[in-house]
Amino acid sequence: MADKKKRRRPADPDSDSIPFKSRLKPDSVILQALKALAAAESTPSASTNPLTLADLSLSQACREVSDLPLSSVQSTIESLVLSLTHSILSGQGLSFSVPSRSSANQLYVPELDRIVLKDKSSLRPYANVSTVRKTTITARILQLIHQLCLKNIHVTKRDLFYTDVKLFQDQTQSDAVLDDVSCILGCTRSSLNVIAAEKGVVVGRLIFSDNGDLIDCTKMGMGGKAIPPNIDRVGDMQSDALFILLVEKDAAYIRLAEDRFYNRFPCIIITAKGQPDVATRLFLRKLKTELKVPVLALVDSDPYGLKILSVYGCGSKNMSYDSANLTTPDIKWLGIRPSDLDKYNIPEQCRLPMTEQDIKTGKDLLEEDFVKKNPGWVEELNLMVKTKQKAEIQALSSFGFQYLSEVYLPLKLQQEDWL
Amino acid sequence: MEIGESSESPEGKKKSKSKTPRKPKDSVLKQKSPAEFFADNKNIAGFDNPGKCLYTTVRELVENALDSAESISKLPIVEITIEEIVRSKFNSMIGLAEHERVDEELYDDFESAKAREKRLAKEARIQEIQAKNANLGKKVKEPVASKAMKGRGETSYYRVTCKDNGKGMPHDDIPNMFGRVLSGTKYGLKQTRGKFGLGAKMALIWSKMSTGLPIEITSSMKGQNYTSFCRLDIDIHRNIPHIHVHEKQDKKERWHGAEIQIVIEGNWTTYRSKILHYMRQMAVITPYAEFLFRFLSDAPDKNVTVKFARRTDIMPPVPLETKYHPSAVDLLLIKRLIAETSKQNLLQFLQHEFVNISKSHAERLIGEMGPDFSHKMLVKSLTSQQIVRIHQLFRQAKFDDPSGDCLSPAGEYNLRLGIIKELHPDMVATYSGSAQVFEGHPFLVEAGVSVGGKDVKQGVNIFRFANRIPLLFEQGADVVTRTALKRINWNSYKINQAQDKIGVFVSIVSTKIPFKGTGKEYIGDDISEIAAAVKTSIQQCCTQLKSKILKRIQAREQQERKRNLSKFVIWLNGAIYDVLKEMSHLHASKRKRYTNEDAEVLNKVSNHIITRETLGEKLAQHVEQVDYEMALEYATQSGVNEEPRENIYIQTLEGESKFVDFQSPVFVFRLFQ
């Protein structure tokens, strides 16, 4: 691999001037360290069973949804509709009992390292001016899902919205009710056969089958393979990767994909281009559980980078009812960490001052349980709030566009500098 | 304050100065009379440009008229007339012959050959396009008459006349009241409308500067059997009146008050809306006054006549002159009070010349001043050092806040009436705060908030009043604007800041309004006491409105509930029935088994016993029942809860009129003819 690089840029006169380049050891040494990490990852997880909510005897009752087969979704809807029909025929109108998804009804479980829902729920009666719309939308969504079950097809959230624009009015309403319906039925959103448009991409040392087609992610060109929205049709994962590199941004992802970083250090590179969607989170979880390789994250050094990390790690507030299937535990924060700014002498002009809002978000994050459980993260976040500086991954480009793939990441890996 | 008396410049010096040849390095000690100072800096009194001059002249005259009528507790009637005088008429008025332009190039609006070429080319192009459009059968838009760019030439001359039914002026005082700047009756510590005490004098200086025509005053006081007539202008250099005519005339009608006529340069086109806004806002804050505003010109279509009728005969009390609060005085003021006082010794001086110092309090204060001071010491014998000591003590010691008794707020009732009368809002709420203190001066904030109304723009419309005069300029930095736009969360009162027509009225009265800016056009946002008082007042109004708005929303929901609930029946029974139908198919084809009760329902569906309509009917029945129950609940809850009634003001009829009485045992119905 090193030979190849030399061939591309023979007799590089600048190589000495690139900071920290001289500290890099040969790739083989770095690979040794990575192999040790991967080995450590695969052994203990095989012995201990993952904890579930039922294993813990929590004081409060908690709600979780599970993947249900299509037939049981169908019968759940049918029995619900029958009970509604009885209620209407007896002249009592109808009402849904909807589990509350508000933040007041959420709970962080440290043992599981994710957010779950408590068991509070609210009544959604038809004969009330404030809830009549939502009740109607709920019934309509139920009917649409029932149709999907009968026909056994997948549709996107957008499709669902366009079936009755006049009633739904805007997509946020139908989307919100869709999540409510998941909770009512006690199943994951993907088992409703409703998918979100694909947003995430993956590239690297991974072969899997998507709806029967075999995909080799090393041969997907620069853009990579779009992460399929219906995870249930993904299978047969094979890989010789030593780790998964989770990238926050498209720009950094393209750099790594073009430089074929995964050939130098066998890895799988994945990004959701900002806030992760459900499909990417599901895919990452599947990768991690099936391949048993460590996940390293490369995010911006700002509160939002950490927030994105938290969504992968312990779930978003909005989808907390399904946190069991969506979260990937034990993600390691590789970079760019606030301490890296000085460690790598990132020039002043590439650092941005944090706004009032940033600082507030940072301080709020310090109160979050998922940050608190990792003392290293608390330290880094404290440093960020103290220095009031943030930097994007692109700040590394000030040393050259390829600095990220050729110096920064190898050095980080060599030093095993992750938290 | 009375610089007018002390600083008259010697005549001789003036002359010698004007004759000395120009030597830029040589600085000669010059003195200026107050009149000269204001002539040079007329912008600080609101005379920035001809348009603003016209506006300020109108407002000074109107405010004087109101003050005059209120001082004798008479309901004010103010007639204001602006008469346009075109240049030719003005020239003939002053006896100047009309001159034809000889050297065209000398003038600003001369069109050079190049400019003409350009204009002709442009006109030709426009015509071409129009011809093309006409050929294509398009609707030809009337060519917009190119607005003649007159620029500075737009200014014209105006005769401003203001007539009131006030106190009038003593015959002998008239020349000094108009012809001497910084001499007036309004000095002293009390709430006054005027800002500088310049009033009509500044207008006179402006007329002298722009037209050179004198001011004409007609006045009559109660009980006088003559009318004073005076025509005068001002000697700016000496700050003394220059009298043309000053005579007593026979009184033709029973009238008391003053009529002032002045000819000035102005600009009606650009300041028309400002002047009309001013009149309208004045009518809001003084609903007990009657205003008649007229604009007359040669073009009849431009003429304006607006009458702001009286809506109440309750007048706020005349503001009282008050004594200074110890924490509001400065060194100079103490010296002046000492010079003016009639009291002999220090104890009496402290006790009587200031508010909030009782006898025992004064004794304690004197004890605190030190061994040099005693109760009996003569107040006029105080040394400068001793006065400084008194001043320092005043600054440090704690005094009770001055009471707001000396203030004369418009009153919640009047403010409310004014808003209703001029804006016709859907809803209005008013609030009157209690007096508070800023730097020893009491102030009082009243506020009104209205929603809806005619001629009101969407969003927040702000109406500011200081000492019962409207403030129109420099709105952006004002404490009221800042508060209303930034510190009030309209949403929490169910008011939509962007779409509702919101009127915010805030009236601040004080013995000293802390104006900002040269023109004294706004109150700064940096005084936390005033900002807080303004905020609470507006919030109080909003809270009142909120309950009204909520009631209205509730009532609307009552009316629309059934409709809203029924609207969704079609969707809902459609959704449910579709699922049922699919299920009945499955049931019929025996692909799925259902238990007895459910099977019964599904059988009914397949046999069309249960249809979409049956479900709809059942739902509709349920809605009906719920609606009835809720309506009943609403009715018992709200009960017979009517709004408090408001008094209405019926205008008195003027003059004697013929009428016919229809008698009935209970009442008399009188028909006026």
A159 annotated ligand binder: no
Binding residues of B for ATP: 64, 164, 185-186, 194-201, 520
Which residue of chain B comes nearest to A89, CA vs CA?
B618
Neighbours of B339 (CB within 10 A): 9
CB–CB contact B583 A133 (8 Å): no
Q: How far is A399 from chain B (nearest CA, A)?
A: 45
Would an 8 Å CB–CB cutoff place A169 in contact with chain B? no
Chain A residues touching B557 at Cβ < 8 A: 129
Chain A residue numbers touching B564 (CB-CB < 8 A): 129, 132
Matching residue, tokens 């009316």: B559
B607 CA: distance to closest CA in chain A (Å): 16
What digits encode the pLDDT tens for the residues B394-430?
A: 888 888 877 778 888 888 888 888 888 888 898 999 9
Cβ within 8 Å, pair A84-B576: yes
pLDDT at B98 over 80: no
Interface touch B626/A88, C-beta < 8 Å: no
Report residue A81 as tokens. 């509709």
**Residue boundaries of the structural domains of chain A:** 65-195, 197-414
pLDDT tens figures, A15-64: 456 777 777 888 888 888 888 888 877 765 444 555 676 677 677 778 78
Q: Mean pLDDT, to the nearest integer, of B152-173?
A: 83
B653 pLDDT above the threshold of 70: no
Q: Which residue has the tokens 């007609």?
A: B218
Residue B520 Ramachandran class (φ > 0 left, ψ -120 to 50 alpha, else beta): left
The more confidently predicted of residues B79 and B632 is: B79
Residue B445 one-letter amino acid: V
Q: Do residue A135 and residue B575 have CB atoms under 8 angstroms apart?
A: no
Question: Which of A70, A76, A85 best tests the B interface by mutation, with the highest count of B CBs <10 A?
Answer: A85
For residue B166, the Cα-to-chain-centroid distance in whole angstroms is: 22
- What is the average pLDDT across A140-161? 90
Position B8 scores a pLDDT of: 42
Per the listing, tokens 């209690």 go with B434
- Alpha-carbon distance B497 to nearest alpha carbon in chain A (angstroms): 23
Q: Which residues of A touch B627 (CB under 8 A)?
A: 127
The beta strand positions in B511-607, using DSSP E, are 515-516, 522-523
pLDDT at B7 over 60: no
By Cβ distance, the residue of A85, A91, A133 closest to B576 is A85
Indicate whether B21 pLDDT > 70.
Answer: no
Region B489-509 average pLDDT:
90
> What sign does the CA torsion over B518, B520, B521, B522 have?
positive
| Residue B664 scores a pLDDT above 90 | no
Find chain B residues with C-beta within 8 A of A78's C-beta: 579, 583
Q: Please name the residue ranges forming H helices in A292-332.
A: 303-314, 323-326
Q: Is B11's pLDDT higher than 50?
A: no
Other C-beta atoms lying within 10 Å of the C-beta of residue A58:
14
Count of residues in chain B: 673
In one letter, which amino acid is B524?
Answer: G
CA A342/CA A351 separation, integer angstroms: 11
Asked whether the predicted pLDDT for residue B541 surpasses 90, the reply is yes
Residues in chain A: 419
pLDDT of B172 higher than 80:
yes
Average pLDDT, integer, range A259-268: 90
Active site residue A162: yes
The pLDDT value recorded for residue B237 is 84
Tell me the pLDDT of chain A averaged across its residues. 84
Which residue is associated with the tokens 């008429």? Answer: B89
C-alpha–C-alpha distance, residues B106 and B368, integer Å = 75
Those residues of chain B whose CB sits closer than 8 Å to some CB in chain A are: 557, 561, 564-565, 568, 571-576, 578-580, 582-583, 594, 597-598, 601, 610, 614-615, 618-619, 621-623, 625-627
Average pLDDT over residues B193-205: 73
Residues B374/B343, Cβ–Cβ less than 8 Å: no
DSSP state letters, B603-620: HHHHTTSS-HHHHHHHHH
Is ipTM beyond 0.90? no
Q: Is the pLDDT assigned to residue A285 strictly greater than 50?
A: yes
Confidence of residue A211 (pLDDT cuts 50, 70, 90): confident
Task: Please indicate if any CB of chain B lies within 8 Å of the CB of A127.
Answer: yes
Smallest Cα–Cα separation from A373: which of A322, A331, A324?
A331
Output the pTM of the full model.
Answer: 0.62
> What pLDDT score does A246 carry?
92
* Residue A64 annotated as binding site: no
From the list A108, A126, A162, A253, the catalytic residue is A162
CA distance A126 to chain B (A): 8
Quickly state the pLDDT bin for A144 (edges 50, 70, 90).
very high
The CA distance from B513 to B191, in Å, is 9
CA dist A265 to A23, A38, A405, B16, Å? 18, 12, 10, 98
pLDDT score of B161: 94
CATH number of the domain at A65-195, please?
A: 1.10.10.10
Residues of chain B found within 8 Å of residue A150, distances taken between Cβ atoms: 582
Same CATH fold, A197-414 and A65-195?
no
What is the residue-averaged pLDDT of chain B?
82
How high is the pLDDT of residue B81? 94
Asked whether the beta carbons of residue A127 and residue B623 sit closer than 8 angstroms, the reply is yes
Could you tell me whether strands B459-466 and B501-510 are parallel, antiparallel, or unpaired per DSSP bridges? parallel
pLDDT at B144 over 80: no
CB contact under 8 A, B557 and A129: yes
Residue B82: predicted pLDDT: 93
What's the token pair of residue B173? 């005082």
pLDDT for the residue B184: 60
Query: At B154, is the pLDDT very low, low, confident or very high (cuts 50, 70, 90)?
Result: low
**Number of helical (H) and strand (E) elements in chain A, helices listed first:** 18, 18
Q: Is the predicted pLDDT of residue B542 greater than 90, yes or no? A: yes
Is the per-residue pLDDT at B2 higher than 60? no
Average pLDDT over residues B38-44: 81
Tell me which residue has tokens 């008391």.
B256
- Among the listed residues B483, B480, B486, B484, the one whose alpha carbon sits nearest the alpha carbon of residue B466: B480
Q: Which of A281, A81, A96 is nearest to A188 (CA)?
A: A281
Residues in chain B closer than 8 A to A134 (CB atoms): none
- Which pLDDT score is estimated for B431? 92
Confidence band for B543, pLDDT divided at 50, 70 and 90? very high
**Residues B356-367: what's their mean pLDDT?**
86
B211: phi > 0 → left, psi -120 to 50 → alpha, else beta; which? alpha
Interface test with A, best of B572, B585, B592, B629 (most A CBs within 10 A): B572
For the segment B620-642, the average pLDDT, to the nearest whole number, is 79
Q: Give the separation between CA A385 and CA B490, rounded to whole angstroms.
A: 34
* Predicted pLDDT at B188: 62
Contacts of A143 in chain B (CB under 8 A): 574-576, 578-579
pLDDT band at B654 (very low <50, low <70, confident <90, very high): low
pLDDT, residue B481, reads 92
- Inter-residue contact A22 to A294 (CB < 8 Å): no
The CATH code of the domain at A197-414 is 3.40.1360.10
Range A309-319 average pLDDT: 84
If DSSP states are collapsed to H, E and C, what string results for B583-604? HHHHHHCCCCCCCHHHHHHHHH
Q: What percent of chain B stands above pLDDT 90? A: 13
Backbone conformation region of residue A101, classed left if phi is above 0, alpha if psi is from -120 to 50, else beta: alpha
Beta strands in B129-198 (DSSP E): 156-163
Per residue in B544-566, pLDDT (tens digit) is 999 888 888 888 888 888 888 88
**Arithmetic mean of pLDDT, A277-289:** 89
Give the DSSP H/E element, type plus range, for residue B523. strand B522-523
pLDDT digits (tens, 9 = 90+) for A400-410: 888 888 888 88
Q: What is the pLDDT of residue B464?
A: 92
Mean pLDDT of B88-112: 74
| pLDDT band (50, 70, 90) for residue B503 | very high
